[in-house]
Amino acid sequence: MTIDLHRIARRATYTVGRLSVEGRYFCDTLEDKDRDANRNGVFDNGEQKVYARTAIPNGTYAVTLEHSPKFSPRYGGRKVPRLHDVPHFEGILIHTGNTADDSAGCILVGRNSAPGRLTGSLAAFNGLLPLLEQAAARGEAVTINVH
């Protein structure tokens, strides 16, 4: 299964994107500020990661479902999507939230209802998670392309 995250609005404190699953628009996303100014997937030319205030670099990452001590209890004990081998980052998840303050580098899903804000985050997450669970049950690899 392929997920695409197309960043459409890079602002001073947050980044808005559109998430597609298998080529079909699924929901909006909200992340921290995208500090990869030249969008080459690395922090270079003076670009610097700011802890818990920086979106992950552009790139393609494997996604698996894993238990999260923080988020799994919120979702009835279900596993959550985790991105792997993200340069300079650990523990990057796709989860619910309303503002970039809820992100800490993770990808939030929902509907971009106002500048820098998501609504319907739980509904979006509850729609995405079964698709990922079904792909995992089929033994299908899941990747996310962030650009």
Give the model confidence (pLDDT) of 14-46 as tens digits: 999 999 999 999 999 999 999 998 999 988 888
Residue 129 in this model has a pLDDT that exceeds 90: yes
- CA–CA separation, 121 and 28 (whole Å): 9
Per-residue pLDDT at 46: 87
> In the numeric block, which tokens belong to residue 115?
């500048």
Lowest-confidence range among 43-57, 107-121, 129-143?
43-57
- State the Rg of the chain over Cα: 14
Contact 142, 136 (CB under 8 A): yes
How far out from the chain centre does Cα 107 lie? 2
Per-residue pLDDT at 137: 97
* Verdict on whether the full-model pTM lies above 0.75: yes
Per-residue pLDDT at 96: 98
Q: Report the half-sphere exposure of 144 (CA within 13 A, side-chain side).
A: 27
Give the model confidence (pLDDT) of 61-120 as tens digits: 999 999 999 999 999 999 999 999 999 999 999 999 999 999 999 999 999 999 999 999
Q: Where are the beta strands (DSSP E) in the chain?
A: 2-10, 15-21, 24-31, 59-66, 80-83, 94-95, 107-114, 117-119, 142-146
- CA–CA separation, 61 and 83 (whole Å): 6
